[in-house]
Amino acid sequence: MGMNRLLKMLPRLAAITLAGTLGLAGGAAHAQGKTITLCWAAWDPANALVELSKDFTAKTKINMKFEFVPWPNFADRMLNELNSKGKLCDVIIGDSQWIGGSAESGHYVKLNDFFAKEGIKMSDFMPATVLGYSEWPKGTPNYWALPAMGDALGWTYRKDWFARPELRDEFKKKYNRELAPPATWDEFKQVAEFFTRTIDGKKVYGTYLFTERGSEGITMGVSNVLYPYGFKYQDPKKPYAMDGYVNGADAIKGLEFYKALYKCCTPPGLTNSYMGEGLDAFKSGQVAMMMNWFAFFPGLYKDPNVGGDKIGFFVNPAGPKGKGSQLGGQGISVVSYSPNRDEALAYIKWFASPDVQKKWWALGGYSCHKAVLQDAGFKASAPFAGEFLTAMDQVVDFWAEPSYAQLLLAEQKRVHDYVVADKGTAKEALDGLLADWKKVFKEDGKLK
């Protein structure tokens, strides 16, 4: 969504997000002053941005309209708008994976000169968010967005279950350690197996994992395991050289591990499930641990049934080869076809200021600004703030190539066929994925 994010998301999620769109898409413009339209997905952070943006209008007398599209339709709607050179959006909060295509197709205004003129420094933002949301080509100082909504995959857990004395005693006898949020994937599997049991007369399961096939779900989920196991998209020293990185022994072990978790410890029937189903499973008390985007954690903490003292949060576990979390989130860009470019740029300038970024975090947005994230009081500002900070320091993103949709759908199919449909081996899945990706890059002229 970083989430994010692509093609056709889950219809279930529309129920979560549609409520947030009511009353937001219009917003009558005043007689005097210009009006700009900001486009984004419809979810809780967008509602927070509406509230925040009232300060922009008060300061500049530039009025705001909002076009918020539910996640299931967001990518199709907005990419169609950009590809048709439409003038609906003056400012857009687009997915991290759109940067390559939007830069090369001329959809976004390049912001380097504007940043230099206004004294906006990319060094004021967390490096991973600049790389993930702003740069194209990656690793070069060419900026097409300002980091806007930091996000990563993290974990919630039933803190109240973990605290039960009888369960703690049983776990300690079995594993000779305390029952606690897992720090490694080996520990995670022990906890997931332990909680696949009956609690209060109800069958529950150790964990919830992403399995959705149609857009990006299972790729986002499996990446959370693959990165700490040693998977890399390419040789860090040789772009598009993928042999032994995509399909190496470490990557194979990681994919096998994800399948083992899926088979042992997840609720039955969740074979095509993403964000919405995970929220449902956790809220209804089906699972002890849940993978999902940090963007949903403020709402979960407020949940009357599983929030407050009943919920805890932890960062993605470490693996044999270290740490890593799947990046979500988005940058904010000026649409090159906008007739209100000066006003749109004024919004970017306003949004970049530390004071606005601090209020953005306070309202429920996820700031990427160091003035917020490195503040001495940040970790104590929310029960998931420390975990978010750790996650954003170890994030990895999927390809942001103009052909990212083809690359993503190839992984969706290969991984889902292996993990959920029981087709072939992990090695065959990753060998097939490597062949798919080579074909795309050869067609793009990036690989001989």
Both tokens assigned to 199: 């609690």
Q: Is the peptide bond before 137 cis (omega within 30 degrees of 0)?
A: yes
How many other C-beta atoms lie within 10 A of the C-beta of residue 329?
31
CB 121 within 8 Å of CB 134: no
- Distance of CA 406 to CAs 43, 79, 227, Å? 26, 15, 21
Q: 153-326 adopts what CATH topology?
A: D-Maltodextrin-Binding Protein; domain 2 (3.40.190)
Q: Which of 119, 263, 284, 116 is nearest to 192 (CA)?
A: 263
Cα-based angle 293, 278, 314 (whole degrees, multiple of 5): 50
pLDDT tens digit at each of 448 positions of the chain: 444 443 333 333 333 333 333 333 333 333 358 999 999 999 989 999 999 999 999 999 999 999 999 887 899 999 999 999 999 999 999 999 999 999 999 999 999 999 999 999 999 999 999 999 999 999 999 999 999 999 999 999 999 999 999 999 999 999 999 999 999 999 999 999 999 999 999 999 999 999 999 989 999 999 999 999 999 999 999 999 999 999 999 999 999 999 999 999 999 999 999 999 999 999 999 999 999 999 999 999 999 999 999 999 999 999 999 999 999 999 999 999 999 999 999 999 999 999 999 999 999 999 999 999 999 999 999 999 999 999 999 999 999 999 999 999 999 999 999 999 999 999 999 999 999 999 999 999 999 8
Q: Which residues lie across from 339 on neighbouring strands?
A: none
Sign of the C-alpha dihedral computed for residues 386, 373, 100 and 246 taken in this order: negative
Residues of the chain with CATH 3.40.190.10: 11-152+328-396, 153-326
State pTM to two decimals.
0.91
* Measured distance CA(373)–CA(366) in Å, rounded: 9
Q: Check: CB of residue 22 under 8 Å from CB of residue 90.
A: no
Domain 11-152+328-396 has CATH 3.30.230.70: no
Q: In the chain, how long is the greatest CA-to-CA distance?
A: 72
The pair of structure tokens assigned to 22 is 């009511």
What SS3 state is found at 148?
strand
